[in-house]
Structure 1
Amino acid sequence: MIPAAFEYYRPQDMAGVLAILEEHGDDARVMAGGHSLIPMMKLRMAEVPHLIDLQDVGGMSGIEVGTDSIRIGAMVTQSDIIDDARLAAAAPILREAALQIADPQVRYMGTVGGNVANGDPGNDMPGLMQCLDARFTLVGADGERDVPAREFYEAAYMTAREDEEVLTAVTIPLPKGGYAYEKQKRKIGDYATAAAAVQITKEGDVCDSAAIAMTNLSDTPVYSEAAGAALVGTALDDAALTAAAAAMLNDIDPTEDNRGPIAFKKHVAGVILRRAILRAWSRA
């Protein structure tokens, strides 16, 4: 449980971060909270000759709630999300999800940027950000660009971020309607066996729109347009719920591991999704 030797850097600004990344290329990695990267280094699942700590870089720890969008700095912690009253009022699903991440000790250090940037299929925030149609701001030597969360994840631990780019912020359109983040896990602090993020709007008694994403059921988070479309135009009767679950099952590709066999994971996914949809509908 001892990592390979590495050089440690703690630059004071983004220019310093980018200079180190440019010098060392894919031998360098940035660290926000470190709760994903450090365990991988200690287990020798990742070797990082040059580790860049972002703790002293300013400008990435703010939460801005606007009239039509929310901007969250990459260094905002899960605890910050839980404690921000304006954010909880504007996007309560963020607080609901953050409260289900690991335990308080992790949430005090674990950051939004770290959770979404490294492409871990078990992390909670990537699927949630896809559900909310978030955009990730990436900064590199060539400037700044935004990448939709729904296009960011390519495979396990592989994303659209280039080696010399840093994810600095997440921007979310102001959520509307009902919401739910449901998670099933073996024990407190564990990754999800399955988790579902759902956002629903309705017109009268009919579903007007639905966004659905699930976590830890494929090598990337899964945003299912088909599952959402199965609910639109319905009153969320049993047939609509069954159709949404069937559509999601067509989009996921779980593997067998210590959280259970494939058939069990698919069953749990269906149960969790139905539960999340009904709770979001009750809040719409």
Structure 2
Amino acid sequence: MFPDKFDYYAPKSIEEAAKFLSGHEDAKVLAGGQSLIPLLKLRFTSVPEIVDIGRIKGLDGIAFQGNYLEIGSMVCTSEIAEDSSIRKKFPALSEAAGQIADPLVRNRGTIGGDICHGDPANDFPAVMMALDAEFEISSATKKRTVKAEDFFVDTFSTALEQGEILTKIKIPDTGSSGRYMKYKKYAGDFSILGIAVNISMDGKKVRKAGIGLTNCGPTALKAREAEEYLAGKELSDDNLAKASELLLKVTDFMDDDNGSVKFKEKLLKYLFIRAVKGIGGVPK
């Protein structure tokens, strides 16, 4: 099936793209196209104009700047999965990237497109919350920064305003380690649910914990109560069991074809404990 007709625009700068978007309310940004193109081809949606930002230079870099990892919004998922520095310093991010869809999608899909799509079943948003990431957002005249936990407003809805484009992801390097675990029915499928855990230690006690949840509500969720509970505590079985119960305070599960609410709650707690115990060698 072919999509409805649309006008195609390929700007060469962020300013040019943002200016066009500010004057065309229904235009959509095309990054890797792995979410938008299928929707168009199946005619689940139609748009009058598409703004392809793939020709804009400077959006496809990975670099460590000071105490931050900076990732351009057009960096492909496969690059993140395969980058040795990311795998070493941010294993949860690398692990999540390697589980997204299949190699074809990972080679074309971008981290910015995944984040801006706002799908609660996408994997990167929960990781961004666990890592306390910040998003650099650009318009034709200015830039602003939004925390990951404030970016996801509702299902398929983000804090991006008309004329704005996500240009960079900034992740603080805190000497932590983590895991990303998801449960799915089939290879390459979306998560039935998933969890990102990021932990930094002070001796045998947790200095700071970050926890993000995938497909546990209308958006990716940050489990702040569980994070705060773990701070200053050892990762004992009792403490992990208590923290796993606190995860459920932010979830909004529904019975559906993927399972009952009770099944999902039990699964989430299991994945959380498995993720924490699977981190291993957490840096001090």
TM-score by length of structure 2 reads 0.94
The Cα of 1:128 is off from its aligned counterpart by 0.3
Aligned partners of 1:11, 1:227: CA distance in 2, in Å?
44
Q: Please name the residue that 2:231 is paired with.
A: 232
Q: Deviations over 1:166-190 (max 9, x none)?
A: 1111011014223111111111111
Which AA in structure 1 matches 2:108? M
Contact 1:185–1:193 under 8 Å retained in 2? yes
Does structure 2 conserve the Cα–Cα contact (< 8 Å) formed by 1:209 and 1:228?
A: yes
* Paired residues for 1:13-52 under 5 Å: 13-25=13-25, 27-52=26-51
1:282 CA displacement: 4.8
Q: Secondary structure at the match of 1:234?
A: coil
Q: Distance in 2 between matches of 1:3 and 1:256?
A: 33
**Mapped partners of 1:261, 1:120: distance in 2:** 21
For residues 193 and 259 of structure 1, the distance between their equivalents in structure 2, rounded to whole angstroms, comes to 7
Q: Secondary structure at the match of 2:24?
A: helix
Q: CA deviation at 1:230?
A: 2.3
Unaligned runs of at least 5 residues, structure 1: none
> 1:173 and 1:111 mapped to 2: Cα distance?
20
User: Equivalents in 1 of 2:132, 2:41: separation in Å?
Assistant: 34
* Aligned counterparts of 1:35 and 1:16: Cα–Cα separation in 2: 23
Sequence identity of aligned pairs in percent?
Answer: 36
Distance in structure 2 (CA, Å) of the matches to 1:64 and 1:147: 20
> Which residue does the alignment assign to 1:2?
2
Letter of the 1:7 partner, please give it: D
CA RMSD of aligned residues (A): 1.6
Name the aligned partner's letter for residue 3 of structure 1: P
Instruction: Tell me which residue corresponds to 1:55.
Output: 54
1:61-210 equivalence runs, <5 A: 61-210=60-209
**C-alpha displacement of 1:281:** 5.4
For 1:254 and 1:2, the matched residues in 2 are separated by 35
Aligned residues: 283
- The one-letter amino acid of 2:98's match is L
Q: Which runs of 4+ in 1 moved over 6 A?
A: none
